[in-house]
Amino acid sequence: MVYLGLDIGDKRIGISVSTSGIFASGVETYYRTSLKNDCQHILELVKKYNVDIIVAGLPKHLNGDNHQQAEKNEVLCSALREQGCKIDYFDERLTSAAAEKAMLEADLSRKKRKENIDKLAAVIILQDYLDTKGGGFKL
């Protein structure tokens, strides 16, 4: 199985992939332009990597309630579903905070952190999903 991980935001989408079903790796941070273009870009990646399942981060508040961003994300996910994509949601609470912490520990500049936070959050979402499904690699 091949998985594509998405950390969907209003301005950017962090994208990761797992071709092994074991390890997730970052692909890119995509800067959103329009629903049509965003969908087309993701569909190109689905085709390029021969993706079976898209794992989209599901924004939730710490108390477990869906965040308002979840509804916005559903618009893109619904458009992708209409194109035949299978979407699995995965709780993305604290992934951006974990990504920021990892980049701070790596001593990346503020500019590098901003450029990479969404991509790294997508990696964390997808890796956590794989680990939960039993396919990921745990130390």
Question: Which tens digit of pLDDT belongs to each residue from 48-57?
Answer: 999 999 999 9
Total residues found in the chain within this entry: 139
Distance CA 49, CA 4 (A): 8
Average pLDDT over residues 14-26: 94
The residue ranking higher by pLDDT, 92 or 2, is: 2
Closest CA relative to residue 96, chosen from 51, 60, 45: 60
Distance CA 106, CA 32 (A): 27
Question: Are residues 17 and 3 in contact, defined by beta-carbon separation less than 8 angstroms?
Answer: yes
Q: Which two tokens stand for residue 51?
A: 């993706």
Percent of the chain at pLDDT above 90?
55
Q: Which two tokens stand for residue 18?
A: 């797992």
pLDDT of the residue at 41: 98
